Amino acid sequence: MELLSADHYTFEQLTEAYNQTRVDYLVPMPMNVARLREYTHVYDVQLPHSFVAQRDQDILGLGMLGVRENRSWITRLGVLPSGRRQGIGQIIMDNLIGGSEALGIPTIWLEVIKGNKPAHTLFQKCGFVETRELLVARRPPNPNTPIDVGNKVKRVTFLDHEDAIILLSHRQERPNWLNETESMQNVRNLSALLVELNDGGRGWVTYHAGLLQLTRIVVEVTVGDPAGVAATVLKVMHQRHKRQDAIAENIPATDPKWIGFEEAGYFDSFRRIEMIRA
């Protein structure tokens, strides 16, 4: 077996190999070439510092490394069924960690899907410790059902991408890598709504509106009850986008705004566990 940096491979090869690692995964999350290109751009994945394991020109596994100031992020780690139970995941992890340390980065982050015991055990063995549980939530479209906010809303202000980034940079809670301001800066055409309530509550939501789906959803409550204001802010957004499916990723399980997400029609799709190695 040999280990090569991921920049030795085309995006087509990396995509095919990644999808093969997920054929029997808890949450498959398949990729296509365009999505993998976007993924590496948005999340600052560095292919020269990512690794692919192969034997006789056949890819056995891969893992990718995102790099930002003072922190890195291990992602898309996977081993094809033909390469499992041979220590390949451990070898890739060791090299990703070693590469991060060689760059002088003091902290490494990752997430593992809750219930993926083999991966969780591997990460603990590599020195990662749990920091928090994160929710991945969905809301199916229901264009024929009225969305009622009553007389709660005083004013709605529509903001563009630049304003959305300013809002995101002033968040109180530490975001996960997927939702960091650096990630959002790499996304095109974010939208934002600033909602003021008649009772003095105030909050905002940033999101990316695609043709079929709302993604990159982040809600912040600046004044008032976190759950109540969050529910109203989300309902205002869905009044404008009644036909799109919606996904909100990596909401901390302890976030008091989660009750507001549920009130707005979101459900807990699956959970990730964030882990950090200092």
Residues 6+ apart with CB under 8 A from 91: 1, 3, 53
> Per residue in 36-83, pLDDT tens?
999 999 999 999 999 999 999 899 999 999 999 999 999 999 999 888
- Give 199-247 pLDDT, tens digit per residue: 999 999 999 999 999 999 999 999 999 999 999 999 999 999 999 999 9
Say whether both 199 and 257 belong to one domain: yes
- Tens digits of per-residue pLDDT, 137-166? 999 998 888 888 889 999 999 999 999 999
- Residue 148 sits in the same domain as residue 245: yes
Residue type, 157: T
Which CATH number fits the domain that encloses residue 53? 3.40.630.30
Quick check: is 206 in a domain? Answer: yes
Same domain? 162 vs 248: yes
At a CB cut-off of 8 Å and minimum separation 6, what does 189 contact?
161, 208, 209
Distance (Å, whole) CA 167 – CA 195: 13
- 73 and 192 fall within a common domain: no
Of the residues 55, 89, 106, which one is the last residue of a structural domain?
Answer: 106
CA pair distance 123, 186, nearest whole angstrom: 28
Let me know whether 84 and 177 are in one domain. Answer: no
Say whether both 87 and 17 belong to one domain: yes
User: Picking from 19-23, 113-117, 120-124, 208-212, which range would have the lowest pLDDT averaged per residue?
Assistant: 19-23
Q: Is residue 153 part of a domain?
A: yes
pLDDT number for residue 26: 74
CA distance 253 to 173: 13
Residue 112 lies in a domain: no
Band (262; pLDDT cuts 50, 70, 90): very high
Range of the domain at 238: 137-277
3-state secondary structure of 246: strand
- Structural domain total, the chain: 2
**pLDDT of 28 strictly over 80:** no
- What count of Cα atoms within 13 Å lies in the side-chain half-sphere of residue 4? 15
Per-residue pLDDT, 84: 86
The pLDDT of residue 244 is 95
CATH number of the domain within which 151 lies: 3.40.630
What would the pLDDT profile of 175-207 be if each residue is shown by its tens digit? 999 999 999 999 989 999 999 999 999 999 999
Greatest alpha-carbon pair distance for the chain in Å reads: 67
